Structure 1
Amino acid sequence: MSTQIKNELRRSSWLIALVVVMVATIVSVKLVDKPKASWESYGDEWYSTAYQGDFINEIAGPAQNIHAETQLFPSIIIAQAILESDWGQSELATSANNLFGIKGEHNNQSVIMRTDEYIDGERITIDDQFKKYDNLQQGMEDHLVFLKGASYQPVLSAANYREAALAIQAGGYATDPRYADKLIELIEQFGLNQYDS
């Protein structure tokens, strides 16, 4: 093999190696620059912030429509949906379209689920009957009907989300002694009050 051919093969090999390195560099830069979902903890669970954003966006529109009709703060609706349904992932949410943990029957439909309750400051787990809805919209509409009850009138007339959260707890919505605090924490952590205006 002539020296000229050997030199051309070496040059070709170096050129191929250089192209491979450049392609690998470009691909790795693209992968590094690709936005990644970050992860945050809430309680004992970890959630992708991308998923959290999707869930909030799914609930925000209907919550703002409800606000236009009733003055109920969208941030409260969204925070309750997050807290009560574990970001839409609880069995009650997925099998009964019940994002708000509303007990009882809806159109003769219900499911029995395990739930934590607080009695005399102690947390216990019981089986209870929860409403089952045909779709999420039905569940959101019934949540509004529920909050229009006499016990929750202060929620609808609250001046801000903090007052509304305290009024929900005072009305007996949940037995958790930190329920209002948890709603407020969610609203502030995820900036849900941006949907209130």
Structure 2
Amino acid sequence: MLDAAGVAYQAVPAAIDERALEAGLAGAAPGALAEALAVAKAAAVAALHPDALVLGSDSLVVCAGRRFDKPRSREEAGAHLRFFSGKVMELHSAAALVRGGGCVWRHASIARLHVRTLSEPFIEHYLALEWPEIGHTVGAFRIEGPGVQLFSAIEGDHFTVLGMPLLPLLGALRTEGMLIA
């Protein structure tokens, strides 16, 4: 998304224990949890690059009160899809900017994805097309590919569905002087 928007950046993976952070935030609302993970990722990288403006982001899915992580196997992806079938999936995407040890901006947004009733033949066909690529995605779908066929309706910002609240982020980057206003 940043490439397409013309934003220059350097990708640096954050070395954080997401599960430990989540355990410490047990009971937090999904948007708050996604935001806390985004801040923690940015802060971890900013500690190594104190003069840089560092972006962290995170997304998570909640469906029928249950939180889902990225599927670890094709079988688990199938189980997720069977659970999502006929329900509304909430996708929480967050981003944060950290500079000099402090968070200068954070934002979380939500999209509601109405999953149509999925037949077993469709699920198997979909997994044959999309596995293992969807193993890297929360929700077991790529909206820019065959994953769009999972849904009957989508409420929310397109970029949130792609995994980052891009338009608010671009505004924050302009405010921070990183993009031409």
The TM-score normalised by the length of structure 2 is: 0.26
Give the number of the structure whose alpha-carbon radius of gyration is greater.
1
Structure of greater relative contact order (alpha carbons < 8 Å, 6+ residues apart): 2
Higher helix share: 1
Give the TM-score taking structure 1 as reference length: 0.24
